Amino acid sequence: MPPVLANYYLTYKCNSRCTYCDIPVKPENIPIKEVAPEIIIENLHALKRLGVKVVDFTGGEPLIYKHLPVVLKEAKRLGFFTSVANTGTLYPEKADSLRGLIDDLKFSLSTIDTDFYKTERGINGFAKVIESLKIAKSLGERPSIIATATPQSLAGMEDVIGLAQEMGVVVLLGPVFDFCDNELLQKEGIAEIHRLAKYDNVCVNWAFTQFFLDGGNNIAKPRCKAISSTIVVSPDDHLLLPCYHMHDERLKIKHEGGRSNLDEIWHSTHVQKRKAEEGSWSFCQGCTIWCYFEASFLWPPDKYFLLNLKSKWRWGNEKLKQLVEQKSGLCLTRKLAGDKDKIMKAISTNPLNSPAAKPTAEIIC
């Protein structure tokens, strides 16, 4: 099976400092410079030749890369499904230039408490995220919220779900993975995620939570297909092997006569040899870095494959509901089935309800 996904790191720079992510502060990342959009566009053509279907433009904070609209435009012209996750802190000033170019637009948000937001993400960004969600909806986008559950944020997730239901957006809820010695959820935490998964607008990848409970990747019988399913490109134009998070190899991409050799590198004997070993290195033991597992679970058919399909089905239905609500103004969402006090708390602390930011008809369904 050809690779389906590209995790395209446009920059390692970021204006946030999340407790569970070291991308912008990792010493090796700091001197890395971004490349011109023409280089990225040549790589997009190579990704097309490789058979990639989805390009996730990521970072760092991808909106820091000033040519993002140009590369997104070309990605759309080439027929890719485009995906961008961002914090929402820079979106308001870029929203017009990005309009209609992102198929899966996601804003990261794990709390509705402004102080906790600052503690978790290192900046005072909560109000901007809400503003971004409102702007995105007003421009006809159908954004989602990525809610990363940590031992500290899990208790507030019902409030995030309440906010998402109120705004008519989908919540992609998942557990934090071990990346920079951050604290992980225990099995009770995963049970809580499964409880929350039954609420409207919530999407949990059950394959991933099961994999988490099963102890993650087992190097004796690897389930990771990071190299075969996913192409990872760095901001300074290297193919990263085997994945961004644990790359021990950076292969420089060459450009000649307007053509990138990214596809040739991927087909090389060396990369194919590493592909045969994917998931079996010692650093892969217990890995749960979800950025590679959704695509890894696309084959072969096993319990993770089936749970992944079930999760995709749910996601498809939730996004369809979002589309119908947006087009028709109908309200198809069953508001939080939790106790009324919690709903009231979520609503009363939601900035949308403050007089300065009166909710508008197109936001509240």
* Binding interface with ligand SF4 (CB under 6 A): 14, 16-18, 21, 23-24, 59-61, 87, 121, 217, 224, 226, 242-243, 245-246, 278-279, 283-284, 287, 289, 292
- How deeply is 61 buried, as exposed, middle or buried, from its count of CB atoms within 10 A (0-12, 13-18, 19+)? buried
For the four alpha carbons of 189, 194, 195 and 200, in that order, the dihedral sign comes to: positive
Q: Are 236 and 32 in contact (CB under 8 A)?
A: yes
Residues in 137-156 that interact with ligand SAM by CB under 6 A: 146, 148
Q: How far apart are CA 352 and CA 187, in angstroms?
A: 34
Per-position x/- string for 59-78, each x denoting binding to ligand SAM as judged by CB under 6 A, each - no binding: x-x-----------------
Per-position x/- string for 164-203, each x denoting binding to ligand SAM as judged by CB under 6 A, each - no binding: ------------xx-x--x---------------------
Which of residues 7, 43, 83, 87 is near ligand SAM by CB under 6 A? Answer: 87
Shorter beta-carbon distance to ligand SF4: residue 16 or 322 = 16
In the complex, minimum distance from the CB of residue 62 to ligand SAM, in angstroms, rounded to a whole number? 6
Residues in 270-329 that interact with ligand SAM by CB under 6 A: none
Residue 15 phi, psi dihedral angles, 5° rounding? -95, 0
Residues in the chain: 365
> Does residue 3 come out as left (phi exceeding 0), alpha (psi in the -120 to 50 range) or beta?
beta
| Lookup result for tokens 């099963």 | 214
Query: How many residues of this chain interact with ligand SAM, rule: CB under 6 A?
Result: 17
DSSP secondary structure code for residue 333 in this structure: P
Element (H, E) at 260: strand 259-260
Q: How far apart are CA 107 and CA 145, in angstroms?
A: 5
Shorter beta-carbon distance to ligand SAM: residue 12 or 266 = 12
In the complex, minimum distance from the CB of residue 150 to ligand SAM, in angstroms, rounded to a whole number? 8
DSSP secondary structure code for residue 355 in this structure: G
Residue 217 binding partner per list ligand SAM, ligand SF4, none, with a CB distance cut-off of 5 to 8 Å that depends on partner kind: ligand SF4
Q: Counting contacts by CB under 6 A, is residue 14 touching ligand SAM?
A: yes
Which residue sits closest to ligand SAM, CB atoms considered? 108
